[in-house]
Amino acid sequence: MTDSTLTALAFSNQLSDAVEKASRSIVAVNARRRRTSSGIHWRKNLIITADHTIQQDEEINVILPDGRSTSASIAGRDSTMDIAVLRLESIDLPTAEIADSTQTKVGQIVLAVSRSAEGSTSASMGIISSISEGWQHSGRPDHHRHGRRSRSTIAQLIQPALMMYPGFSGGALINPEGQVLGINTAGARQFPLTIPAAMVDRVLDQLLQTGRIARGYLGLGMQAIRLPEALCRSLNLSNPGGVIIVSVEPDAPADNAGMLLGDILVALNDNAIEDVTDVHSMLSSEQVGQPLTAKIVRGGVLTEKTIIVGERPGRNG
């Protein structure tokens, strides 16, 4: 064999070993009709999977790498981050080796690993094509916004350039050492996306501590608009964008702060607001209970209101 052939063979064997190593902690999850998903044994007796694949609250079945089947219960879930935590009874199963996902770089070789309903391992290879600052994720319908689906920002996401087959959601993205970089899911148009391990750990810790993820909310229905140039000049506004208030929930934070229908929100804490997602990006769990200074245009006059961010009611905040 030539040196190049030997090098390619060694690299191939390294990738195969990485998949084998990671697969020891990859399970199949039966929690929806006609299709299984995958999950990762993240911590002792705790499986991390993609929340959108959990479509039933009871009779969840998990298939282990050795083919055994066991039941699982929901320990916590966060639909905004698309993360669900399943709890198993005490089992003899190695936990995944978690990589430092903050060191991930564009161009690195990665593999997606999953487990089928029959218990077999599947893998797909590619590279990291991009690392985004956030993903606008469509969640459950939100009655505070007239039935429209809420959209929240997941912090930094990994986008791998590889094929993810049915059942890959909830599985692992790994590096050539077999270490888990994050869990796989799908974004807009079903493009592969990976929630980084650091984010998974953060969500898991909060779910285990409090049973939920706090989400900030103001209690407003909003619609993006553009302000007339003449009004921007008269108010010395450099940004013509903003959101007009189309509904105010009674006794919600914005109502308590004196926000009214027809107010135009142009900035929060001096951050320009151009559309509704800009507002939502200011409503992280850390912001709950904290003040936001809202600059609004009311009757052609620029004024300020202080809003104390509330916690969104309902499951998962």
Within a domain: 36: yes
Task: State how far the Cα of 246 lies from the Cα of 283, in Å rounded to an integer.
Answer: 19
Within a domain: 13: yes
Residues 183-203 have a mean pLDDT of 86
The pLDDT score that the predictor gives to residue 149 is: 35
pLDDT tens sequence across 15-64: 999 999 999 999 999 998 888 999 999 999 999 999 999 999 889 999 99
pLDDT tens sequence across 269-297: 999 999 888 898 888 777 889 999 999 99
pLDDT tens sequence across 133-192: 654 443 433 333 333 333 444 457 899 999 988 889 999 999 999 999 999 998 656 688
Neighbours of 64 (CB within 10 A): 20
* Together in a domain, 57 and 139: yes
- Domain endpoint, select from 166, 192, 210: 210
Average pLDDT, the chain: 87
* Together in a domain, 28 and 125: yes
- State the pTM of this model: 0.71
Query: Residue 202 phi/psi, 5° resolution?
Result: -65, -45
* Together in a domain, 204 and 220: no
The pLDDT score that the predictor gives to residue 283 is: 87
Q: Which of 274, 216, 271, 218 is nearest to 244 (CA)?
A: 274
* Together in a domain, 204 and 239: no
| CATH number of the domain that residue 44 is part of | 2.40.10.120
Within a domain: 317: no
* Together in a domain, 42 and 177: yes
Q: Which residues span the domain enclosing 188? A: 3-210
* Together in a domain, 186 and 236: no
* Together in a domain, 240 and 196: no
